[in-house]
Amino acid sequence: MPAAAGIAAADSGALVRVDQTGARHAVASTSGVPFRLAVDGDGGGVVYLKRAGKDQVQVRRVTAATLATGSLVDVDVTASHGGQVFVTGKARRTAAALATVSIVDTPKGTPLSLQGKLALTSWTISAVDGRERWIHARGAVAQGPGGERKFVGTVRDITAEKEAENHRRLLSAELQHRIKNTLAVVQAIVSHQCVSRLYSPCVRRLTFSC
């Protein structure tokens, strides 16, 4: 991805910068291949995830210490067009906050506004009656006195909408399956009739698609 003085890229065991001549320059060494690269607005610094053990990751920035840690499946990194990088999910801060990197207390992968003040997300919860329900949340991200960010907004139950959406998807898949079966039967009948009558123009292979 475009960064200061070239392109930032992931390589085996290193984060590299490719200059205008195509030459590769190692920027930071990593164990394995770094991933989820994001460029911030502070001189084109690169924030990335680095594997740490079997199922843990570190959130790192070039020329900086580890910013946060967390589970491999619970942490994500994304960048806004304004140069702000957001760490979402269950990340544990391990270093002082940076102006261009924010650790946001929202579910992993939550879409955020340019400045991280608006979040839009949905997830499932277990209700008192034991049923799993879909929740849709929209609101602002407020910064606490310690630099942490909290989600403050409205929460809405969208279980009925999700169930209707899943039902439509199921019907669509069933319809496609039946159409394919019908076309397969038609193809078999036509092919059988052509061969049995030895009608040369029909000997050509017929194909149907949906």
Average pLDDT in the chain: 78
Residue 209 has pLDDT above 50, yes or no: no
At residue 207 the predicted structure's pLDDT band, cuts being 50, 70 and 90, is very low
Q: How far apart are CA 126 and CA 136, in angstroms?
A: 14
Instruction: In the chain, count H helices and then E strands.
Output: 2, 15
112-122 pLDDT tens trace: 766 666 666 66
On whether the CB atoms of residues 142 and 107 are closer than 8 A, the answer is no
Phi and psi at 180, nearest 5°, equal -65, -40
Conformation bin of residue 178: beta by default, left when phi > 0, alpha when psi is -120 to 50:
alpha
Residue 83 has pLDDT above 60, yes or no: yes
Residue keyed to tokens 């879909």: 134
CA distances for 89 relative to 55, 111, 125, 130, 144, angstroms: 15, 12, 16, 25, 17
pLDDT score, position 97: 76
Q: Which residues contact 208 (CB under 8 A, 6 or more apart)?
A: 183, 184, 186, 187
Residue 202 in tokens: 């029909």
28-44 pLDDT tens trace: 888 788 888 888 877 66
pTM, to two decimals: 0.55
Residue 19 in tokens: 């200059």
Conformation bin of residue 175: beta by default, left when phi > 0, alpha when psi is -120 to 50:
alpha
Residue 45 has pLDDT above 70, yes or no: yes
123-179 pLDDT tens trace: 666 666 777 788 777 777 677 777 666 777 788 888 888 888 888 988 888 888 889
The pLDDT of 5-33, averaged and rounded, is 82
Q: How far apart are CA 58 and CA 65, in angstroms?
A: 10
